[in-house]
Structure 1
C-alpha cells in the first residue's frame, strides 16, 4: 500500500491551483477527511455551453479530491490510497484532454474524456473511505421485496454478504400478517402464502451459510393497513384501539390498544412463537408506540380514569386540557403503557432460549416529538437496559441533517447508547448519498447503520460499498464486547505495522514503540475470561494507552488518525459503563416530559418602545451606538409555553416619525447548520425549513387586521396583510453574520400599516424565531400556544 505523497500527486495538485486552493492545501492536515462521495451531474443536451459548465464543475471536484487525498496521505490513512492516487492522476489527464478538445470544438470526444474524469474521481473518493472491522451493516428486507423463490433468496443474500453486510432484518410481521406459515395467532401474508416453502426458514438457512445475522423486523402494536385484510383484529376485536371520542366515526383502528394487558400478551405470544421456531439472533420492534392518529383510544382513556379514581377518589375530566399538570399525568400514564410492553417483553425473553435474544427498538427521532405524539420514550428503555440497541429512523438525503439528528439522539454527545441509525434509501436524492451518511456515522463512532429498505436500495451501490466503507469484513458490536475490542486493536496493530514498513514511515522508533503498547493492551484483553470480566479490567489500561499516544513523537495528522481509529473502542467502553451503571441502579425513573405550560409564559407581555436617538444604518449589524436607548425584548419561550428556549434571541426596538426599527440578534453557535432554502419573495419554504424571524404587527384594538413580516438568513423576505401575500409592503431589511450569531435590521413604515406613531400610541405585536436545529424549532416573545397566527395572543407595544 502506497502511503507516500509522490511526484505524480504533487504535479496533479498544480493542475488547477490558485490562491484559494493553496490556502486550502495548507490547512488540509487540520481538517477531518470528508467521506462524502461528490460527483457532477451532466447537463443535457450536449452543447458547448453545457459541456463547459460541467467541465468547470469537474475542475472544482478535482481540487476537492486532490485536497482529500493529500490529507489522507498525511494521515497515513488505512485505505488503498495508491489506487486512489492512480485514479486521480488519470482524472487529471482526462480533464487536460477535455479542455484541449473543447478548444478544438470536438464536443463528442471532450464529453467522453469528461465522463472518464468523473468516473475516476468517483473511484478515488470511494478508495479513500475508511472501513471499520466492528460495525453493524444491516439491510431491512421489506416483505414485499423478499424473493419468491429459494434461488432468489440465496442470490440476494449472496449479493449483500459479498458487499460486506453482516445483518438482515426481514419484515416478519406486517399489516397483521406473518410471513411464515401455520401461526396460531394470525394468517400468513397473502403475498408469500403460495410459494411452496417457508420464506423465513429459507432466509435463516441461507443466512447461516453466509454468517449473516438474522434479526426479524416486526410491527408490534400496528396490526392493520386499510385494504389489506384484518387477520388479528378479526380474531380479537375487543382489543382494538378505537378513538375515545364517540363522535369520531371516521377513524379506522389500525393498532391494538397498548393499554390492554391482553393486547400486549397477544403480540408477545406471537413473537415468542416465531422465536421458538427459528434460530434468529434478535428482534427489532417497530410500531412500539401509540397510533398518532388515535393517541387517546377508548381503552386507554377508560383505564386511566379507573386508576385516577383509585388514586384520588374522583374521576378526571372527560376532556383533559393540554398544558396542565393533569395532561402531564395523562401523558406519562400512556408512556408507561408502552414502557410496560417493552419491559415485560425483555423480561419474558430472559432464559427463554439458551442463546441471548437481542431486543432493538425502531424509534422516531427527537425526544419531544416521539414522546408527545407517539408516547415512545426509548431513552427510558435504554436507561433500564430493556433494549440492547436503538435504531432511530433518520431518513434524509442530507448528511447535515443526519449529523444534527444524531446530536439530538445523543443529547449533544452526552448519552452513550448503542445506536444503529436507519438510513432511508427512499429519501436519497442519489444513491451516492449513502456514502456521506456512512462517513458521518463513522466519524461520530456510532455503532453502525441499517438501510431502509430493500425495495428502495439501489443495488449498483453494492460494488462501491465493498470497495469503500465495507471493504473489510466486520463483526457486529453488540454480540461480544470483549471480542469487538480485541478486533479493533488487532486491526489497528496490522495497520501500524504496514505503516512502519514504508521507507518514509514517520519516526519508526516512536511508531513501533506505540504499536507494541497497543499490542500489549490486546494481549491483556486476551487474558481476560470471556464471560466474567469487568469494566475496571478494560477501561484503565485503555486510558493509559491514550496517554502514551499523546506523548508519542509522531506527526500530528498521523496521531489524529490513530486517535480517530480508537474512537469506536472508547465509545463501546462508554456504552458498557452506562449499562453497568444502569444495572447497578436497578431502575431509572422516566424524566418528566415538557407538556406543562410554565406560569411565566401565560401572561401577555407588554413593552414601551423608546424613540430613536440615532436612526440605525440598515446593514444588518446591530451597532450599540445606533441602537442607543432602544427597547430590549427576548424571544425566549417555546411556542407552546412548555419551556424556555436554550438559545438567546434578543429584539431591539425604536421608532421615529416614520418607522418602527427592529434589530434581532440571533445567537447561533452552529452557523454551518443554518438553512436558507427559500430564494424568492413570498416563498413559503421560508416557514418549513429555514432559519428565519417573523413579526406580526397590528393597530391596537384591531388585532385581526395584522401584518406579517418574515425573512431568512439570506434576507429572502415574505410579507402579507391579513394572510393575503399579494400585498407587498415598502419595508427595508438587511442581514449580517458575526461570530456565533446572525443579525437582522428592519425599518417598517408605520403609516402604511395604519399606525400614526406618537407618544402613547399602542400596537399589537409578536416576534418569533424559527431554528430547525432545535428539538422544538419555534420560539416566541408572546406564547401563542397554537400557531403563530393567533392574534389574541399578541403582546402590546406602546410608544414612549
Structure 2
C-alpha cells in the first residue's frame, strides 16, 4: 500500500497508547482534521472526504425499489414544491420526446403526418406548462393533476419506437442464473438468445459464477453448480453469441461466495457457507462478532488473503482462455454490506495484515477510536482496490483485448465507503476497468436520471471509462422503458444494461429491436471507439443541419457560418482520428469538441431559453463523444505498452 502508508502506521504504533493520542482523538471528529493531520493523505471519495464523521444513514434506498401504487388522483391542494416537480418532470419529458423526434427525422423514421401531429401535442404540453402557475390557483387540484398525467401519457405514446437502436452504443443485458437454469440445454438457451437478439442486444453479461458455483465444469472451482450439471451453459452461450454477432462477458460474483437463497434451491441447509468456504474456511470474511453470514444473508471471501486473490484470478483466466469470453464483469466487488452493529471485514488475513502495518488488532477498534477507525475503514477499501488492480493487470496480460466491467452501487461516495468500502472512483481513474455499470434500478425516469445516473457520471469525471447505466425492466411498462432509455441516450453515457433476461418480455422487442441502417450503427464503442465517436457526431451534425434547413434553429449570418465551420472542422478531425489515432490528433479533436460545447450557450442563446433540455442534451451528446475518445486514447496507450512489453529483446 505504499511507503507513505507504512510510515504513517509506524507513527500510530508510537503514539497509540499515550495520553496525547487519547486526548487528540477525543477532540477531533472529522476525517479532514483527524486523518488529514495524522496520515497526511485523503480518502479519494469526492467532497465527502472532508465531511464530519457520522453514523451512516439507514439503508433507505434498497437496490431494487418497489413502485408505490397510488389509489386514484389526490384531491389535496398542489403545493409550490409539487407544482415545480410537475413542471420539471413534464419539461424533461417534452425534451426527451423532442430529442427522439429530431433523431427520427435524421433517420427518416415515421411519416411526416405523424411527426406533425406530435408537434401539435408538444405545443399543447408547452401551453400547459405556461398556464400551470395560474391553473394551480384557479382549477381543482384533481383536474390539474389529471390533465398533467394525460399529457405525460400522450407524450409517451408519441415516441418513435423504431429509433432506439440506430446508434453506436453498448446494448447489454444481464443473463441471470435463473434463466440459464430454466433453459436447461443449449436448445433452450438458443431461444433466450433469439429473444435477446430480437431486442437489439449486442453484449451479454452471462452469470457465470454465482454464490461460489460456476455454471460450467471448472478445473479451478470446487464444483459446478448442481443446477447446471449435465451440460455446459458457458460453452453454449459463447457459441450462440458468436452466431448472433454478440459479445459474451462472464459475470461473476467476486467476493460473495455463499447465499442462503441458493442453498434452498439446491437442497442444502440455510447455514451452508458455499463450496469455496467449505473447502477453504480460512478464507472467510468475518464480522466483528465472528459472524460468517452478513446481514444480506450471504458469505464473503477475505480480500486481503493472497490465496483468495490467486484463486479468483485463476477463475477469471480460466474463463478467458478456456472459453474465449470477450470480457469479465466484476460483481460483489466489495465488502459485505455493513448494517449498524454488523461490521465486516475481520477475516484472519485482514486482521493480521492490518496489525502488521499498525500494531493494532482491528477487532478491538471502535468508532470512538476515530483516527484508527478511519484507518481501518480505509484499509478495508484498499483491499478491494488492490484486487481490482491485480485482476485487471492479470486479465489484460492474459488477453489484451479483454473488456473488464464492474457492476457497482450508485450511492453517494461517503455512504458507499462506509457501507460497502467500494470506492470505484479509484478504479476508473487508474483505468483498471473499461465499463462502469451502476445498478441504477429506479423505475421513475426523473429519479433515475437526477438522483442516480447523473451523480455517477459526475463521479466518473474525466476518467477513461464508458458508463452503462443499469435499467431495471421488471414490471416496467413498455412506454416507460422507452422513456428511460431515451433519458440514458440524452446523457453523456455509452449505452445501457438491462436487468435482466428473466424480465425480457416479447412486447419489449418493438422498443428495443435493432433498426440500424448501416454497419456503422452496429459498432460497439468499446471495440471501435473512434468509429463510434465519428458516427455519433455525424448523427448530431445531420440533426443540426435539418433544423437549420427548416429554420427551426435560430442562427443567422456570420454566427451561422462560424457554427457550421466549427462543426465541419470537428468532423474532419474525427475522420483523422479514425484513420490515425495519434495522441496529437486525439487531443486536437477533444479540444475542438469542448470548445464547441462551451460555445453553444452563446451561439444558441435563444435555444437555451426556449428549449433548455435540448441544448443540454446536445452538450451531453458531445460529452459522450469526448468520453468515447478518452476511452479510446487510453486503450491505444495500453496497446502500445503491451506491444513494447512483448517485443523481443
The TM tier, using the shorter chain, reads: 0.5 to 0.7
2:249 aligned partner:
215
Between the aligned partners of 1:284 and 1:319, the Cα distance in structure 2 is 36
Quote the residue 2:49 is aligned against: none
| Residue of structure 1 equivalent to 2:98 | 72
Map of 1:352-501 to 2, 5 A cutoff?
A: 352-402=398-448, 403-411=450-458, 418-426=466-474, 428=475, 430-466=477-513, 473-496=521-544
Q: 1:240 aligns with which of 284, 287, 297?
A: 284
Q: Taking structure 1 as reference, are residues 237 and 412 closer, same or farther at Cα in structure 2, changes over 3 Å only?
A: closer
User: Between Structure 1 and Structure 2, how many residues are aligned?
Assistant: 496
Decide which structure has greater strand share. Answer: 1
In structure 2, relative to structure 1, the CA distance for the partners of 1:180 and 1:333 (3 Å cut) is same
Displacement after TM superposition at 1:570 (Å): 2.6
Q: CA RMSD in A?
A: 4.6
Query: What residue is the counterpart of 2:332 in the other structure?
Result: 287
CA contact (8 A) 1:257 1:300 kept: yes
Pair member with larger Rg: 1
CA gap of 1:73–1:185, structure 2 versus 1, over 3 A, is: closer
Aligned to 2:62: none
CA drift at 1:261:
0.8
- Report what 1:664 is aligned to: none
Q: 1:286, CA displacement in angstroms?
A: 0.4
Q: Which runs of 5+ in 1 are unaligned?
A: 1-40, 45-59, 93-116, 585-800
Cα deviation for residue 487 of structure 1 reads: 1.1
1:455 aligned counterpart, secondary structure: helix
Distance 1:579 1:329 in 2: 36
| Contact 2:294 2:336 (C-alpha < 8 Å) held by counterparts | no
Question: Residues 121-156 of structure 1, C-alpha deviation per residue, up to 9 Å, x if partnerless?
Answer: 754234597766232221101021023343433333
Partner of residue 189, structure 2: 153
Task: Find out whether 1:523 has 2:572 as its counterpart.
Answer: yes
Deviation string 1:226-278 (CA, Å, 9 cap, x unpaired) is 31463322332321224453588998871121121101111110111011022
Counterparts of residues 304-319 of structure 1 (less than 5 Å): 304-308=353-357, 311=358, 314-316=359-361, 318-319=363-364
1:262 aligned partner: 307
The answer on whether the counterparts of 1:177 and 1:188 sit within 8 Å (CA) in structure 2 is yes
Q: Deviations over 1:569-597 (max 9, x none)?
A: 3344257659979999xxxxxxxxxxxxx
SS of 2:258's equivalent in the other structure is coil
SS at match of 1:280: coil
Does the CA-based 8 Å contact 1:215-1:282 persist in structure 2? yes
Residue 205 of structure 2 is matched in structure 1 by: 169
* Structure 1 residues 246 and 518, CA gap change in structure 2 (3 angstroms): closer
Report the CA distance shift for 1:194/1:72 in structure 2 as closer, same or farther (over 3 A).
same
Q: How much has 1:329 moved relative to structure 2?
A: 0.9
Alignment correspondent of 2:352:
303
The 1-side partners of 2:113 and 2:246 are apart by 30
CA contact (8 A) 2:101 2:159 kept: no
Deviation string 1:748-769 (CA, Å, 9 cap, x unpaired) is xxxxxxxxxxxxxxxxxxxxxx
Question: Corresponding residue for 2:236?
Answer: 202
SS in 2 for 1:569: helix
Query: Which structure has greater helix proportion?
Result: 2
Q: Are the equivalent residues in 2 in contact too, given 1:346–1:386 (CA < 8 A)?
A: yes
Alpha-carbon shift at residue 536 of structure 1 (Å):
1.8
Alpha-carbon distance in structure 1 between the residues aligned to 2:276 and 2:348: 17
After the TM superposition, which residues 45-56 of structure 1 pair with which residues of structure 2 at under 5 Å, given as runs? none
- What is the CA–CA distance in structure 1 between the aligned matches of 2:291 and 2:221, rounded to whole Å? 32
State the secondary structure of the residue aligned to 2:530. helix
CA contact (8 A) 2:409 2:439 kept: yes
Q: Which residue of 2 aligns with 1:333?
A: 379
Structure 2 gap ranges (5+):
1-68, 73-85, 123-150, 269-273, 638-649
Contact 2:309 2:387 in 1 (8 A): yes
Question: Aligned to 2:498, what secondary structure does the other structure show?
Answer: strand
CA 1:383–1:122 in structure 2 vs 1: closer, same or farther (change >3 Å)?
A: closer
**CA apart distance, 1:563:** 7.0
Deviations 1:45-91 (A, max 9, x none): xxxxxxxxxxxxxxx9xxx89x9499839985544463644776999
SS of equivalent residue, structure 1 residue 224: strand
Deviation at residue 296 of structure 1 after TM alignment = 3.3
| Alpha-carbon separation, structure 2, partners of 1:364 and 1:262 | 30
Look up the SS of the partner of 1:187 in the other structure: coil
Q: How many Å apart are 1:365 and its aligned residue?
A: 2.4
The answer as to 2:558 corresponding to 1:532 is: no
How far did 1:344 drift?
0.5
Tell me the CA shift for residue 508 of structure 1.
Answer: 9.9
On the 8 A contact 1:365/1:392 being kept in 2, the answer is no
Is this contact kept in 2: 1:419–1:448, CA < 8 A? yes
Give the drift of 1:527. 2.6
